[in-house]
């Protein structure tokens, strides 16, 4: 079993403590029951935390992302004698069919329909894949019928959701633009302002109006410090990752390599 100590919490952000406790609960359950535990869909940050904690135990951890790709995935926590089976992820792939001659659906429209209109929890579906002429999404298999029966319209388009083989998943190649920035400190507001070429006051306003997410969670404070590997998304501006830090300039500023999604 993973050793639970206060030292572990120091490696993560304070607002992640509740999730860490939840992961320890999953590990304890598998340890005590000698059976597998399958999580809901986790975002990449949650997956990284969960995998690192499982790795410090005597258990095995399998991420659906390693087999199906994508950002969001389910983690299967299992005893050491478990033999992996892809079907144990209980993931279905749905293809969204609609009249493309008169409609075009994007990622935001699908997300808005699922969460805002239908009230579906973000944890029961994974990536929304938007291709040139295809639209797909991963869902928990137990929710398959619910999605098919209730998701009948997205935007102004009538839709029909059909299950397809996982092998039929479309490949989405995310493109990045790499750049270097100089910042006097690693405060969130200063990094956002520098990357997006905004004034610091505008950056602060975006954060305080809850339009900025740090590692998939709403940012708590403009003064929060960021570090290499962090992903920052700003509503209306896109997202970027702090890829690496290459030292300090002669003026003592931090030299950061940024990868921004385009």
Name residue, tokens 């040139």: 132
Condensed to tens digits (0 to 9), the pLDDT of residues 94-152 reads: 999 999 888 889 999 999 999 999 999 999 999 999 988 899 999 999 999 999 999 99
Name residue, tokens 């609609």: 98
Question: Domain spanning 91-168 has what CATH number?
Answer: 3.30.70.330
pLDDT band at 157 (very low <50, low <70, confident <90, very high): very high
Condensed to tens digits (0 to 9), the pLDDT of residues 192-219 reads: 999 999 999 999 999 999 999 999 999 9
Burial class (CB in 10 A: 0-12, 13-18, 19+), 164: middle
Rounded to whole angstroms, the Cα distance separating 31 from 28 reads 5
pLDDT band at 173 (very low <50, low <70, confident <90, very high): confident
Domain ranges of the chain: 6-86, 91-168, 176-261
With beta carbons less than 8 A apart as the criterion, state whether 2 and 56 touch.
yes
Rounded to whole angstroms, the Cα distance separating 192 from 195 reads 5
Question: What pLDDT is recorded for position 11?
Answer: 78
Q: Which of 140, 122, 138 is nearest to 38 (CA)?
A: 140
Encode burial over 168-188: b for 16+ CB neighbours within 10 A, e otherwise: ebeeeeeeeeeeebebeebbb
Return the percentage of the chain with pLDDT > 90, whole number. Answer: 88
> Is the pTM for the entire model greater than 0.85?
yes
Question: What pLDDT is recorded for position 85?
Answer: 97
Class of the CATH domain delimited by 6-86: alpha beta
> What mean pLDDT, rounded, does the chain reach?
94
Tell me the mean pLDDT in the region 230-243. Answer: 96
pLDDT band at 5 (very low <50, low <70, confident <90, very high): low
- Structure tokens that stand for 47 in this block: 């997956």
- Structure tokens that stand for 71 in this block: 């950002």
Q: Which CATH number fits domain 176-261: 3.40.50.2300, 3.30.360.10, 3.70.10.10, 3.10.290.10?
A: 3.10.290.10
Rounded to whole angstroms, the Cα distance separating 89 from 75 reads 8
Rounded to whole angstroms, the Cα distance separating 28 from 160 reads 41
């Amino acid at each position: 079993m993973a050793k639970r100590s206060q030292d572990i919490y120091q490696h993560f952000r304070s607002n992640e403590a509740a999730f860490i406790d939840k992961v320890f609960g999953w590990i304890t359950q598998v340890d005590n029951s000698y059976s597998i535990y399958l999580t809901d869909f986790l975002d990449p940050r949650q997956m990284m935390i969960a995998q690192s904690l499982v790795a410090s135990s005597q258990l095995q951890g399998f991420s659906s992302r390693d087999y199906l790709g994508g950002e969001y995935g389910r983690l299967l926590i299992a005893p050491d004698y478990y033999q992996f089976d892809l079907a144990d992820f209980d993931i279905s792939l749905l293809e969204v069919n609609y009249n493309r001659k008169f409609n075009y659906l994007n990622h935001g429209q699908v997300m808005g329909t699922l969460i805002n209109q239908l009230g579906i929890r973000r944890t029961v579906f994974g990536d929304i894949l938007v291709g040139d002429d295809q639209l797909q999404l991963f869902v928990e298999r137990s929710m398959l019928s619910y999605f098919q029966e209730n998701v009948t319209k997205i935007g102004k388009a009538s839709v029909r959701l059909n299950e397809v083989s996982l092998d039929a998943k479309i490949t989405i190649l995310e493109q990045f633009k790499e750049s270097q920035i100089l910042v006097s400190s690693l405060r969130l507001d200063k990094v956002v302002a520098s990357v997006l070429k905004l004034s610091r006051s505008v950056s602060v306003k975006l954060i305080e109006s809850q339009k900025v997410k740090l590692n998939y969670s709403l940012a708590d404070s403009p003064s929060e410090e960021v570090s290499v590997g962090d992903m920052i998304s700003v509503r209306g501006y896109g997202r970027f990752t702090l890829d690496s830090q290459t030292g300090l300039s002669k003026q003592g500023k931090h030299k950061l390599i940024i990868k921004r999604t385009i």
